Structure 1
Amino acid sequence: MTESFTERFAAGLASYGDRPCIEFEGRWYSGAEVASYGAAVTARLDAAGLAPDASVALVVRNRYPHAAATIGALAAGRPVAMIYSFQSPEAIAADIERLDAAAVLADPQDWTDEVITATQRSGAAGVALGAEGTALAGAGTTRQRPRVDGALAILTSGTTGPPKRFVVRAEVLEHTVFSVTGGQAAPDEPPELVYWPLGGIGGVCQLVTGVYVGKRMVLMERFSVPAWVDVVKTHRLQRVGVQPAVVRMLLEADLPAADLSSLQYVMSASGPLDVPTRDAFEQRYGIPVLTAYGATEFAGSVCTWTPDLYREFGARKRASSGRALPGVQVRIIDGDTGAAVPTGERGILTAKVPLLGPDWVRTTDIASIDEDGFVTLHGRADGAINRGGFKIIPETIRGVLISHPEVRDAGVVGVPDARLGQVPFAAVETVEGATVSEADLLAAVRAALPAHHVPVSVVFVDELPRTPSLKVSVPGVSGLYRPAT
Structure 2
Amino acid sequence: MAESFTETFAAGLAGYGDRPCIQFEGRWYSGKEVTAYGRAIADVLHDAGVADGAPVGLVVRNRLPHAAAIIGFLAAGRPVSMIYSFQSPESIGRDIDALRLSAVVADVEDWTEPVITAAERAGSAGVAISLRQPTVTAVAGLTRRDATRTHADAEPDVALQILTSGTTGPPKRQSIKTDVLRRTVFSVTSGEKAAADAPPELAYWQFGGIGVCQLIAGVYNGRRIVVLERFSVDGYVAAIKEHRIPRSGVQPAVIRMLLDADVAKEDLASLDFLISASGPLDPETRDEFEGRYGIPIVLAYGATEFAGSLCAWTPELQAEFGASKRHSVGRALPDTELRVVDPETGAELARGEQGLLEAKVAPIGADWIRTTDIASIDADGFVTLHGRADGAINRGGFKILPETVRRVLVSHPAVKDACVVGVPDTRLGQVPFAAIEVADGTAAPSEEELSELIRARLPVYNVPVAFAVVDQLPRNPALKVSLPAVAALYKPR
User: TM-score, normalization: structure 1?
Assistant: 0.98
Task: Give the equivalent residue in structure 2 for 1:141.
Answer: 146
Task: Give the equivalent residue in structure 1 for 2:112.
Answer: 112
1:330 aligns with 2:338: yes
d(CA) in 2 for partners of 1:314, 1:278: 14
Deviation at 1:60, TM superposition (A): 0.5
Per-residue deviation, residues 298-354 of structure 1 (Å, max 9, x unmatched): 100001122322222222222211111112110000111111101100001000111
Task: Give the equivalent residue in structure 2 for 1:392.
Answer: 400
Aligned ranges 1:6-17 → 2 under 5 Å: 6-17=6-17
d(CA) in 2 for partners of 1:277, 1:185: 32
Per-residue deviation, residues 267-293 of structure 1 (Å, max 9, x unmatched): 111111122211211111111111111
Task: Give the equivalent residue in structure 1 for 2:258.
Answer: 250
Deviates more, 1:311-320 or 1:367-376: 311-320
User: Which residue of 218, 223, 234 maps to 2:226?
Assistant: 218
Deviation at 1:432, TM superposition (A): 1.9
Deviation at 1:384, TM superposition (A): 0.5
Deviation at 1:228, TM superposition (A): 0.4
Counterpart contact for 2:377–2:384, Cα < 8 Å: yes
Task: Give the equivalent residue in structure 1 for 2:301.
Answer: 293
Deviation at 1:440, TM superposition (A): 2.4
Task: Give the equivalent residue in structure 1 for 2:34.
Answer: 34
The residue identity in structure 1 corresponding to 2:238 is D
Deviation at 1:252, TM superposition (A): 1.8
d(CA) in 2 for partners of 1:452, 1:193: 44
User: Which residue of 207, 213, 232 maps to 1:205?
Assistant: 213
d(CA) in 2 for partners of 1:361, 1:71: 29
Task: Give the equivalent residue in structure 2 for 1:451.
Answer: 460
Task: Give the equivalent residue in structure 2 for 1:49.
Answer: 49
SS across alignment from 1:36:
helix
Deviates more, 1:305-314 or 1:264-273: 305-314
d(CA) in 1 for partners of 2:131, 2:206: 19
Counterpart contact for 2:335–2:363, Cα < 8 Å: no
Task: Give the equivalent residue in structure 2 for 1:68.
Answer: 68
The residue identity in structure 2 corresponding to 1:342 is A
Deviation at 1:141, TM superposition (A): 1.7
User: Which residue of 465, 479, 482 maps to 2:491?
Assistant: 482
Per-residue deviation, residues 344-386 of structure 1 (Å, max 9, x unmatched): 0000100011110111111111100011111011111111001
- Sequence identity (%): 63
d(CA) in 2 for partners of 1:405, 1:314: 28
Deviates more, 1:28-37 or 1:432-441: 432-441
d(CA) in 1 for partners of 2:314, 2:420: 31
Aligned ranges 1:57-456 → 2 under 5 Å: 57-132=57-132, 133-137=135-139, 138=142, 139-142=144-147, 143-149=149-155, 150-186=158-194, 187-201=196-210, 203-437=211-445, 438-456=447-465
Instruction: Classify 1:185/1:406 alpha carbon distance in 2 versus 1 (closer, same or farther; 3 Å).
Output: farther
The residue identity in structure 1 corresponding to 2:152 is P
d(CA) in 2 for partners of 1:390, 1:340: 24
Give 4+ residue runs of structure 1 displaced > 6 Å after superposition: none
Aligned length: 483
Counterpart contact for 2:444–2:469, Cα < 8 Å: no
d(CA) in 2 for partners of 1:401, 1:319: 19
d(CA) in 2 for partners of 1:465, 1:147: 37
d(CA) in 2 for partners of 1:346, 1:456: 28
Per-residue deviation, residues 206-252 of structure 1 (Å, max 9, x unmatched): 10011000000110011111110000000000011100110111122
Counterpart contact for 1:266–1:288, Cα < 8 Å: yes
SS across alignment from 2:187:
helix
d(CA) in 2 for partners of 1:264, 1:428: 32
Counterpart contact for 1:148–1:167, Cα < 8 Å: no
Structure 1 unpaired stretches of 5+:
none
d(CA) in 2 for partners of 1:335, 1:148: 35
Counterpart contact for 1:274–1:319, Cα < 8 Å: no
Counterpart contact for 2:357–2:371, Cα < 8 Å: yes
Per-residue deviation, residues 53-109 of structure 1 (Å, max 9, x unmatched): 111111111110001011000100101000101111110111111111110111111
The residue identity in structure 1 corresponding to 2:130 is G
SS across alignment from 1:159:
coil
Deviation at 1:416, TM superposition (A): 1.0
Question: Alpha carbon RMSD of aligned pairs, Å?
Answer: 1.1
d(CA) in 1 for partners of 2:41, 2:50: 12
d(CA) in 1 for partners of 2:206, 2:472: 19
User: TM-score, normalization: structure 2?
Assistant: 0.96
Structure 2 unpaired stretches of 5+:
none
SS across alignment from 1:16:
coil
The residue identity in structure 1 corresponding to 2:356 is I
